[in-house]
């Protein structure tokens, strides 16, 4: 597959979308005013509006149609996500099989994937509706847990798949292979396998590399390894990573920090690029490096 691309799109101010879904931060009354305001704005432009069911449960949405993720996937040609990166991760996994583009309005903290500020929400959404945006495709990971030759769990991850020591106070031992070849036997607190999108999340905190979204790679980042020679490594996005828990060690496996599976000794986690991808829409003026400068304070001068 080709690397993710960033494509500029410009058309007339007539909306290039006809049905827009609104998805808010899970059970968050704080986004209520934004949801209602955005729904009214979209409706006033003659667009069909769907409010995701769990969002509607926390918000007084009036007469707007309530829809499940499956209904959104079947009908919407744009989903506006109100929340932080956690909300975006959940939406990405659930809508990836349907190919619905996502546009993020930041109601959280850092917001690496939610580009539009709450205070400029309507202006930003209006620009995108008029076709003034950039479009970027990003891939997800497919993870499977295998036990005694049978698959016992499967999940998608937009950010990362993490095996860690859980509640125990000691390191675990993992055998790590790429495309069937042994990379190392790792004694550590755990291991992160991440996409370029996830490289600015947990992996960055573990001193992993930041991967530009256009890089067709997967990063493997050890968590507090016992040997200083265990370093992060970036591999092709066409490769398969296998993580085997060496007995007697067990470990929880986390998917975007939102799903969990408790793996047993001898289990193997297989991680590879998913057949699904997500299209993120960015408002006018978006720049990945400008986003990093802002979120990571790269341009800030030290205080005297």
Closest CA to 188 of 160, 210, 163, 219: 163
Which residue reads 């799903």 in tokens?
A: 259
What is the token pair recorded at 262? 């408790």
Residue 285 Ramachandran class (φ > 0 left, ψ -120 to 50 alpha, else beta): left
Catalytic residue among 63, 77, 85, 115: 85
Terminal CA-CA length for the chain: 49
Task: Answer yes or no: 85 catalytic.
Answer: yes
CA separation for the pair 184, 181 (Å, rounded): 9
Q: What is the DSSP letter of 46?
A: T
Q: How far is CA 214 from CA 15, 92, 132, in A?
A: 28, 18, 21
Longest Cα pair distance anywhere in the chain, in angstroms?
Answer: 63
| Residues involved in catalysis | 85
């Amino acid at each position: 597959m080709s690397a993710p691309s960033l494509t500029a799109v410009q058309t007339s101010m007539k909306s290039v979308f006809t049905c827009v879904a609104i998805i808010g931060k899970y059970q968050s009354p704080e986004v209520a005013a934004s949801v209602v305001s955005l729904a009214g704005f979209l409706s006033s432009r003659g667009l069909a509006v769907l409010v995701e069911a769990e969002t509607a449960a926390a918000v007084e949405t009036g007469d707007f149609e309530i829809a499940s993720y499956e209904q959104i996937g079947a009908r919407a040609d744009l989903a506006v996500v109100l929340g932080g990166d956690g909300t975006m991760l959940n939406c990405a996994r659930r809508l990836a099989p349907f190919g619905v583009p996502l546009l993020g309005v930041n109601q959280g903290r850092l917001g690496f994937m939610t580009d539009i500020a709450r205070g400029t929400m309507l202006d930003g959404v209006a620009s995108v509706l008029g076709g003034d945006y950039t479009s970027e495709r990003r891939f997800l990971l497919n993870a499977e847990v295998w036990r005694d030759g049978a698959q016992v769990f499967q999940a998608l991850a937009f950010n990362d798949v993490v095996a860690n020591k859980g509640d125990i106070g000691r390191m675990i031992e993992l055998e790590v292979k790429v495309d069937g070849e042994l990379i190392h036997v790792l004694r550590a607190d755990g291991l992160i396998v991440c996409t370029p999108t996830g490289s600015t999340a947990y992996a960055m905190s573990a001193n992993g590399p930041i991967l530009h979204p256009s890089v067709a790679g997967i990063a493997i980042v050890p968590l507090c390894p016992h040997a200083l020679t265990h370093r992060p490594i970036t591999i092709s996005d066409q490769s398969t990573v296998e993580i085997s828990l060496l007995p007697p060690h067990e470990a929880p496996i986390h998917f975007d920090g939102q799903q969990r599976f408790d793996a047993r000794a001898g289990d193997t986690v297989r991680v590879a690029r998913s057949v699904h991808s997500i299209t993120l829409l960015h408002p006018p003026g978006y720049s990945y490096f400008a986003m990093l400068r802002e979120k990571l304070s790269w341009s800030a001068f030290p205080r005297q």
